[in-house]
Amino acid sequence: MADALLHYGTSTSPTPLQAGSSDKPAFNTINLTVTPPSGQQVYCDKIDVALPASAPDGGGAYFTEAPDGVITGGDWKPPTAQLKSGRELGLADAQNYFHVVFEPPMPDLDLVDGTLSFAISGNLAITATGSALACSITETSGTTSGSYSRKDRLDLTLPTGEPVFYLNSLLAVAPDKPTIPRTKFNAGDEVALSWESNGSAFQLYDGDGTSLYEGAATSCSIPADKVVNDTTYTLKATLTSGTPGAQPATLYATITLTIANPILRHVTVTEELVATDLTVPAKLTTSQTDGLRVSGSMTADSALTVNGQLGTRDVNVGGGLTVSGRLTALGKADLGALFDEAVELDPTLDGTDIPVDSDGIMLVFAELPGRYIATFHIKEEGSSDTAYQVTLAGDDSTYTIPLRKGQSWCITNIPPGNVIFAFHWFGFS
């Protein structure tokens, strides 16, 4: 065989080539420039490029999958790539190669009278740090169209280096919509994170510095019980160098997730708290403030303690409401739930004490003729003496008298004549 008639030049991107590990190879491009010799016509039937497709016995770089070949300059047709053994290509028998073939579009367009530019791109891995990529070029050409011969193989040795350590594209998604990135969730949602990196190990931290994930995978899930409020998560990537004695390299990335309905376990508000809907399942205490103002609705399922001022238009209390200071209702205060349904009483008014079975309010209507009066006596439990008394007098008069459970009452000094009494009892719920 004779030497190749065409001239070949190579460049790479990046420079030098970056070769990673077999599980995390690095993407590279080899640029090949082909030019004819000055003053000579060269006709070319094809240009073969052999690229290692498996780890070389003596160490070196190789492509982990079939590379893509493109024509970047010239009118030749897109190349084809096939996996072949070294024996088929006249190379090392134990080695497999990706065989990339560049050809003119038609047999009568085989004259190379200008520059041809080819590019071969793919993922590179390496068996030993600092090893090179060994590949070969073989042309089938001649000085007469249609008359070709296979020329001597041109061996190329392209240096490689370690890939640049990177950590990119930290994204959050919902597991049921893995293609839609988002940063806003509800408390308790499942959140899946993914990222791009050639690191060897990863660790995810929450806002408190608690580790949520450790491993080599480039994705993880955040536990649902950790998705409760706005948090910035930090991802640490570590790359262990193949150089003996070298310290691992680290990179960091962060992502902030906001929670539409956050769960706040301990909150201290020193200025103003504005809430459209505020649910307090345990205890809400305000002290040394100008008050708690609620523009929307506030639900307290347990105890609500206000040491200062509470100003509200509508308040619903399902448990107990204790007010140490002042309670101001700017709108309407509905106290109907404090009382049982009113009961009309028909007691015997002969001076006998009538016991009180529950706390409540007695509404007494009295119609006494002339200047007559009657006396409403209240006695404490176990005593026959009057503790309090109310004078009933006048025509069409109504009296509101609070009574406690255990007390008793009676009416004396009832005048003769047309006297009318009506009694309604409002017991506390």
Task: Find tokens 């070969």 and name the residue.
Answer: 136
Q: What is the CATH classification number for the domain harbouring 174?
A: 2.60.40.10
User: d(Cα 15, Cα 8) in Å, to the nearest integer?
Assistant: 18
Whether 265 is covered by a domain: the verdict is no
* Pick from 334, 351, 347: nearest CA to 413: 351
First to last CA, the chain: 111
Q: What is the pTM of this model?
A: 0.57
Strands (E), 145-200: 147-150, 154-158, 160-161, 167-173, 184-185, 191-197
Contact between 211 and 226 under an 8 Å Cβ cutoff? The reply is no
* Identity at 204, one-letter amino acid code: L
State which of 161, 193, 210 marks the end of a domain.
Answer: 161
Phi first, then psi: give them for residue 89, nearest 5 degrees: -100, 5
Tell me the residue range of the domain where 323 lies: 277-334
Predicted confidence pLDDT, tens digits, the chain (429 residues) = 689 999 999 999 999 999 988 888 999 999 999 999 999 999 999 999 999 999 888 889 999 999 999 999 999 999 989 999 999 998 877 889 999 999 999 988 999 999 999 999 999 999 876 689 999 999 999 999 999 999 999 999 999 988 889 999 999 999 999 999 999 999 999 999 999 999 999 999 999 999 999 999 999 999 888 899 999 999 999 998 766 677 899 999 999 999 999 987 777 777 776 766 666 666 666 665 555 666 666 666 666 666 666 666 666 665 556 666 666 666 666 666 678 888 999 998 888 999 999 999 999 998 887 777 889 999 999 999 999 999 888 778 899 999 999 999 999 988 887 788 899 999 987
Asked if 59 and 138 sit in the same domain, the reply is yes
DSSP code of 394?
A: S
The distance of Cα 395 from the centroid of its chain, to the nearest Å, equals 74
Residue 125 lies in a domain: yes
The count of structural domains within the chain is 4
- 217 shares a domain with 348: no
